Structure 1
Amino acid sequence: MKEFWNERFSSEEYVYGTSPEVRLKDFIDRSTPGLVLFPGEGEGRNAVYAAKKGWTVKAIDQSKEACKKANLLARNKGVAIDYAVADILTFDYKPGSFDFIALVFFHLPEELRKKIHQHLISLLKPGGRIFIVGFSQEQLQYNSGGPRQIEMLYSEELLKNDFRDLKLIKCKTLLDELDEGPGHSGQASIIEFEAVKM
């Protein structure tokens, strides 16, 4: 999987664009800045936007090519992000330290997804929020991006179950028109999820 993403991110072009995901942008714009983690952050568009808005940003991905492009984007925008090329399950993040964790189109095989979601809960401080935007299982009807394996896509029930120990704020499925570089373009079925650790 690491090799797949290194190859995908090896071009000069930003595969998913350089602007933040619109729902995440709205969340960042209406929230008080704190310490945020972006797992599977890719080329950095969301982490860089959060840094511009005053957040202290940590990002992690297994792709060194993604990290290079994210740091370049950060420099071009005049901000700094702390970007690790590592496995999030073994990286030395302190439990209970993050105000906010954002997963943006971060799709995983079922068993790995469950492990990472539980790990992310442990990294949130009390009152910390998790925010997810990703493709729903209905995305298989569309050709606008995302995995083609249903087990790697989200459903509302799946997310509610993975984060059942948190207080649910939002969980909805919607149709949207994506315009996020060549990797995400066209009509798509999206899930937006938000929950808080009590």
Structure 2
Amino acid sequence: MGFALPSCLGDNEGMSDGQDFGMRPPGADKWNERFSDAHTAYGTDPNDFLAEVAARIPEGPVLVIAAGEGRNAIYVARRGHAVTAVDQSEVAMANAASRAAACGASLTTVVADLADYDFGQQRWAGIVSIWTHMPPPLRRRVFTACVAALRPGGALVLEAYAPGQLERPGRGGPPVRPWLLAAEEARELFAGLELEVCREVERDIAEGRYHVGPSTTTQVLGFRA
């Protein structure tokens, strides 16, 4: 993830060090420290659900939010999309740009807080949100903006930890219920989309050091009419 304000967790969440996530979510400095490690925090392969449905994203520009070190953004870019990756961590975005260049992918990186980012109107053919966890008021704001920012026919691809993840401490995701996304809430937040997939699943995850093992997640694939 990466934003100038400590308001959101994305492909760099997973902290469970006793912070009060309701009041003091980790800020950019924390993520810059994590992404300064020589090894990728969340691996280099794309998220499994994204890889499963990426072919459904129509031709055109794609926005990847809370993009971390760019593994998902690079994957989408290599499929031929013009991709913009947004994260609050300067280190994460620098790593993403470097890795994209190394594999010949074109990637636009933006260091920004999702609380302030201008998503635009009917701008994107696809928006990808993988492990973007936020407090409820910001979650509503950001996902409402995502719906408005999709072009007609544009696709939203999302995977987030569901409330059942609280029964799996240390496996990934924020350790407090309000930051987790249930499928029922996702249906309400994305009511403006035609939802082809909106489900809670239990599956094994192997994405770097911080997202590992049996997990409970919410998956969404939706299209703007």
TM-score, reference length from structure 1: 0.94
Following TM superposition, by how much is the alpha carbon of 1:124 offset from its aligned partner in structure 2, in angstroms?
0.7
CA RMSD of aligned residues (A): 1.4
Kept in 2: contact 1:37–1:59 (CA 8 A): yes
Q: Which has the higher strand share?
A: 1
Q: Which amino acid aligns with 1:138?
A: G
Following TM superposition, by how much is the alpha carbon of 1:75 offset from its aligned partner in structure 2, in angstroms?
1.4
Structure 1 position 103 matched with structure 2 position 119: no
Following TM superposition, by how much is the alpha carbon of 1:33 offset from its aligned partner in structure 2, in angstroms?
3.4
**3-state DSSP class of the match of 2:128?**
strand
Following TM superposition, by how much is the alpha carbon of 1:160 offset from its aligned partner in structure 2, in angstroms?
0.7
* Correspondences of 1:80-99 after superposition (within 5 Å): 80-99=106-125
Any unmatched runs of 5+ in structure 2? 1-26
Whole-angstrom distance in 1 between the partners of 2:184 and 2:222: 14
Structure 1 pair 40/109, CA: closer, same or farther in 2 (3 Å)? Answer: same
Structure 1 position 181 matched with structure 2 position 204: no
Match of 1:77 among 93, 96, 103: 103
Match of 2:42 among 12, 16, 34: 16
The match for 1:192 is 219
**3-state DSSP class of the match of 2:173?**
coil
Kept in 1: contact 2:31–2:89 (CA 8 A): yes
Following TM superposition, by how much is the alpha carbon of 1:31 offset from its aligned partner in structure 2, in angstroms?
4.2
Any unmatched runs of 5+ in structure 1? none
Kept in 2: contact 1:6–1:63 (CA 8 A): yes
Between 13-22 and 168-177, the greater mean CA deviation after superposition: 168-177
Whole-angstrom distance in 1 between the partners of 2:190 and 2:156: 9
Q: Which amino acid aligns with 1:16?
A: Y
Kept in 1: contact 2:42–2:210 (CA 8 A): yes
Following TM superposition, by how much is the alpha carbon of 1:85 offset from its aligned partner in structure 2, in angstroms?
0.3
Following TM superposition, by how much is the alpha carbon of 1:91 offset from its aligned partner in structure 2, in angstroms?
3.4
Following TM superposition, by how much is the alpha carbon of 1:159 offset from its aligned partner in structure 2, in angstroms?
0.6
Structure number with greater CO (CA < 8 Å, separation at least 6) is 2
Match of 1:149 among 176, 187, 196: 176
Q: Which amino acid aligns with 2:136?
A: E
Kept in 1: contact 2:119–2:146 (CA 8 A): no
Q: Which amino acid aligns with 2:130?
A: V
Kept in 2: contact 1:33–1:56 (CA 8 A): no
Following TM superposition, by how much is the alpha carbon of 1:68 offset from its aligned partner in structure 2, in angstroms?
1.2
Q: Which amino acid aligns with 1:118?
A: T
Q: Which amino acid aligns with 2:157?
A: F
Q: Which amino acid aligns with 1:196?
A: F
Whole-angstrom distance in 1 between the partners of 2:190 and 2:51: 22
TM superposition outliers: structure 1 runs of 4+ over 6 Å:
none
Kept in 2: contact 1:89–1:119 (CA 8 A): no
Match of 1:68 among 94, 98, 101: 94
